Structure 1
Amino acid sequence: MRHVRTAAGLGVTALALAACGGGSGGGGEAVSGGTFVFAVAADPGNLDPQASAASGLFQITHFAYDSLLGLDADGEVVSQMATDWSVDGSTVTLTMDPDVTCSDGTPFTAEDAAENINYVADPANQSPFLGVFVPDGVTATGAEDGTVTLTLAAPAPFVLNGLAGVPMVCSAGLADRDSLTDSTLGTGPFQLTEAVPNDHYTYTVRDDYTWGPDGASTSTEGTPDQVVFQIVPNETTAANQLLSGEVNAAQIIGPDFDRLESAGLFSTSVTAVLGEQWYNQTAGRPASDPAVRLALTQAVDFEQVAKVLSADRGGPGTSFAASAPSACGGDSVSDAMPDVDADAAAATLDAAGWVAGADGTRAKGGTPLAITFLYDTELGASGSAAAELVTTAWQDLGVTVDVTPQDETASISTLFGSGDWDAAWVQLNVSSPDQVVPFVSGTVVPDGNNFAHIANPDYDALVAQASTMEGTDGCDTWLQAEAALVSSADVFPFANQESTFFGSGAEFALGDGLIPTSIRMQG
């Protein structure tokens, strides 16, 4: 989501769907060959492309795996592995490109495509893409003539958009899922040739690749021979390596942004959710009490937090599916956000029985109001400063706060595993509102994606209504549904920003991450 991006990138950064970012700075003659070094903040862990929605994995996946369809800069569906497609009621039909081959030399067939869809659609496989990119209850069949047929169990107004986010695994990988943990078996422009966890991952170009977006191929002038994903947890270190030429690309969102921009480096950006507040409503956790969620929200000036988090280069949150190209533009947040009022927050807790003691610490029935606040270390110094603002406001309210910074890999393990958190910043970057649904409703972890255990009947009713409408016809209703989540203080995006990648010695374009076939090495 792409941060599922996370998201979904989650980081679940599920995971931005697709929009080419315009570039500035840089310039030079394209020169083929060489090594493109991409600095990434965290190790992706298990490399199975259908096993996690973390943005780090989502980004690295694009180099070795293709999807059935793509989205252009305007959000229109375009060909990728499928050259033709149609939707007729509950039936989706795709025609596969017969020339697509896997990194092991085998052809990629319609049967393989169907098996991928059915794997994700099987709840037993616990793929985070189920309900996000692949509709619940869908079944797929592949025919020898290259036709893939999907049968929908319920209306799915953005089903084609979702298919653009599903990486396709080749038959050998489908037969041996364990092999995907530290190797790649896809149809993408590169294949993994070396994996050193927590240090680097090396991908080598496929010379026979000709079926990329808009006919992109690896024979285009400027394509590198290798791409190395270098794990660089510290953003300032990544910025220094850009300036020294040790790395060719890195995402920079913190205070180092200004000095890189001043240096005239190439840069390109896409819109992304930068800050999104979630509350854990698991029974027995403090935020299962609606009064606690409301008070924690009322106590914080999230407009100021957004300015600090974005180093004053972003703006307030507007909608849950804000990643360009957004299928439903609009603002579901501003009018629904509870007003900032520390006195009202205190009164909310008092009325709910969370009373301050002699030392100012609140408790109810002898249980202290103590929360674990999780935020992403990849937000850098700006993230730490913004988290401190929130922590201070909550402590002034009488809440005991355990601040827990974690990188994306660790935070996803906490959210979907231990569940030991109460408030969290998780950037769920998606471009159509239906992709949000499984994260904010329905089946909870470990069997589903609803990691915050949210149950909002108003949201559910509006989603059911919007799902019966065709595509963007339902956007107003989708936005009303999102507003129901905000007004109940279940979850809300509070900061948007242009997500910027800088380049040194190379140029490239952005979509749902850096587009592999857009890389142009420069001499």
Structure 2
Amino acid sequence: MRILKSRGARMATAAVAATLVVTACGSDRDKGDEGKDGGKDTFVFAGAGDPASLDPALASDGESFRVTRQAFEALLEHEPGGSKLVGGLAEKWSSNPEGTVWTFNLRQGVKFHDGEAFNAAAVCANYDHWFNWTGTYQSSAVSYYWQAIMDGYAKNEDKELKPSNYKSCTAKDDNTAVIEVNKASAQLPGGFSLNALAIHSPKSIKEMEKQEATAKGDAITYPKYSQEAGILAGTGPYKYVKWNKGDKQVEMTRFDDYWGEKAKVKNLVIKTIDTEDGRRQALQAGDIDGYDLVAPADVKTLEDAGYEVPTRDVFNLLYLGMTQSKNKALQKPEVRQAIAHAVDRENLVKTQLPEGGKVATQFMPDTVAGYTDKVKKYEFDTAKAKSLLKGAGESKLKVDFCYPTEVSRPYMPNPQDIFELVKNDLEKAGITVTPKPMTWAPDYLDATEAGSCALHLLGWTGDFNDGYNFIGTWFAGKDKQWGFDDKKVFDAVNAGAEEPDATKRVADYEAANVAIMDFLPGLPLSSSPPGIAFGKNVNPPKVSPLTQENFAEVSFK
């Protein structure tokens, strides 16, 4: 899941590690009776931040997608509680041997929230709509995931945009959509599961196309339709009622014509409470029925009090970024190695992360295809760190170290505490650290993206289970955040980007991990199961390692 505000047009996500010649069955969600709601008709869940858009196509962050995935569905989805691809609006899918023609056998009897019928023509209307975006819609800050999966547009307005890999969409019949791309891509079929590529009704698309996104400098003004309920219509179990920005909450209600099992609770409210303590206290007071990003120290307290605190699987990464262009000393491999040896990652995991947290040895968690034990390890060794700095002529190294405030992320529960631990470790090795605290958005995101921080803390939650979704996000080419240019690393990372054979692609990712950790552009710190909590009277949904919970599964005891 995207962490930065803008990354330009380069590739950033990838697909599930599966053969490109596939035929897969959909999920087992069949129509059934509505469940009982225990007398309550509203489920209230708190996230850590406001959504940016009610249109998932214009979103790139977890807080937005938490909202949009309740109302919108993509062609493919992930199995409840896991990362395996299953059918969504397409019951089955397959590709040709070259991985350039994708055929989707669509569900029948599906309706949009505005009453229109879902069919192949609707699928093509969506993909052609995105392909033909112009103006500010072509900004990566607005259409990040389209660029990540399909690159450019019908008519690129920026010379830095890559030619679009999207070729066409054809409605073979009402229930069969065929999407063609120009070349095989590791971004597919996983990209078809992104909520950013979820399907809107053709009627709503016609209304959406009457409005423009605009930009003034770096400031983006999203179109009005994406900031209020009314025009947008998906196929999901809930439909929008209101975005109450004053109360920082999005209100939804059950879609009674939903094709699958209907939501068990009639109304859904997703609101923002931006502090860990605030979210916990609201749950304990009964003001909300669940919340995300539970502080590790609160897990046992909540469990002992009878709250539901299910455990997500690990599917993210926290890292210490090093920007070589910002501090020339970081251009020396020995200095980067010294920093790696100076940090006690075992202590960080033990003291700062929930149970199940792991020390990271490379830029992807061990749950992702492409992870390998063959990478170079950098064990905690303060004496070795001092020796390497001395050998590099940097015994008096000084670095600026940026860290975010007023935020909690799935991979980084308490940024300031993590910063203090890493800072203390570096100082024990003789490195003078100048703290640079910044508010998360926009200051911190803008500064790290621009390469303004010599050292910084950032991370990533995967979109789907493929190695390129992690390493391709950071190391597919030159990036100001890292400030280096190394063809060997870039070539290794991109070797699997157009490989149609899944087995070969995974082998390419393993080799890329070895090359990355030999070069050591930054230090992978940890992977963490982000905490989520529910009220004592709540039957929780299946929790997702991708943080893709479906609140239609929730009921009250």
Which residue of structure 2 lines up, in the alignment, with residue 399 of structure 1? 432
Q: How far apart, in 1, do the equivalents of 2:110 and 2:93 lie?
A: 17
- Give the C-alpha shift of residue 311 in structure 1: 4.9
SS in 2 for 1:388: helix
Q: What does 1:51-62 correspond to in 2, within 5 Å?
A: 51-62=58-69
| Counterparts in 2 of 1:327 and 1:273: CA distance versus 1, 3 Å | closer
Which residue of structure 1 lines up, in the alignment, with residue 266 of structure 2? 225
| Counterparts in 2 of 1:85 and 1:117: CA distance versus 1, 3 Å | farther
Which residue of structure 2 lines up, in the alignment, with residue 112 of structure 1? 125
Alignment of 1:520 onto 2:554: yes
Q: What does 1:10-25 correspond to in 2, within 5 Å?
A: none
Which residue of structure 2 lines up, in the alignment, with residue 497 of structure 1? 528
SS in 2 for 1:276: strand
Q: 1:71 aligns with which of 59, 75, 78?
A: 78
SS in 1 for 2:271: strand
Does structure 2 conserve the Cα–Cα contact (< 8 Å) formed by 1:43 and 1:409? no
Which residue of structure 1 lines up, in the alignment, with residue 455 of structure 2? 423
Q: How far apart, in 2, do the equivalents of 1:422 and 1:484 lie?
A: 22
Q: 2:308 aligns with which of 260, 266, 275?
A: 266
Q: How far apart, in 2, do the equivalents of 1:393 and 1:375 lie?
A: 20
SS in 1 for 2:422: helix
Q: 1:279 aligns with which of 316, 321, 338?
A: 321
Report Cα offsets for 1:485-519 as digits up to 9, x if no partner: 23322244322232232111322222332533543
Q: How far apart, in 2, do the equivalents of 1:7 and 1:111 lie?
A: 27
Report Cα offsets for 1:209-268 as digits up to 9, x if no partner: 423xxx3333xxxx2222222211221221222223211111213211110111222232
- Give the C-alpha shift of residue 62 in structure 1: 0.9
Q: How far apart, in 1, do the equivalents of 2:105 and 2:369 lie?
A: 28
| Counterparts in 2 of 1:287 and 1:81: CA distance versus 1, 3 Å | farther
Q: 1:295 aligns with which of 315, 324, 338?
A: 338
SS in 2 for 1:203: strand
> What TM-score, normalized to structure 2?
0.75
Does structure 2 conserve the Cα–Cα contact (< 8 Å) formed by 1:336 and 1:487? yes
**Counterpart code for 2:38:** V
- Give the C-alpha shift of residue 355 in structure 1: 5.0
Aligned-CA RMSD value: 3.7
Gap regions ≥5 residues in structure 1: 9-13, 21-27, 357-361, 363-367
Percent sequence identity over aligned pairs: 16
Q: How far apart, in 1, do the equivalents of 2:419 and 2:304 lie?
A: 28
Does structure 2 conserve the Cα–Cα contact (< 8 Å) formed by 1:82 and 1:95? yes
* Number of residue pairs the alignment of both structures matches: 483
Which residue of structure 2 lines up, in the alignment, with residue 179 of structure 1? 224
- Give the C-alpha shift of residue 78 in structure 1: 1.8
Which residue of structure 2 lines up, in the alignment, with residue 482 of structure 1? 513
Q: How far apart, in 2, do the equivalents of 1:331 and 1:198 lie?
A: 48
SS in 1 for 2:460: coil
SS in 1 for 2:311: strand
| Counterparts in 2 of 1:47 and 1:209: CA distance versus 1, 3 Å | same
Q: How far apart, in 2, do the equivalents of 1:216 and 1:310 lie?
A: 36
Q: How far apart, in 1, do the equivalents of 2:193 and 2:543 lie?
A: 15
- Give the C-alpha shift of residue 460 in structure 1: 3.0
Alignment of 1:159 onto 2:188: yes
Does structure 2 conserve the Cα–Cα contact (< 8 Å) formed by 1:267 and 1:500? yes
Q: How far apart, in 2, do the equivalents of 1:277 and 1:232 lie?
A: 26
Q: How far apart, in 2, do the equivalents of 1:255 and 1:496 lie?
A: 17
| Counterparts in 2 of 1:169 and 1:34: CA distance versus 1, 3 Å | same
Alignment of 1:37 onto 2:44: yes
Alignment of 1:128 onto 2:144: yes
> What TM-score, normalized to structure 1?
0.79
| Counterparts in 2 of 1:485 and 1:183: CA distance versus 1, 3 Å | farther
Does structure 1 conserve the Cα–Cα contact (< 8 Å) formed by 2:496 and 2:506? yes
| Counterparts in 2 of 1:139 and 1:459: CA distance versus 1, 3 Å | farther
Q: How far apart, in 1, do the equivalents of 2:552 and 2:243 lie?
A: 23
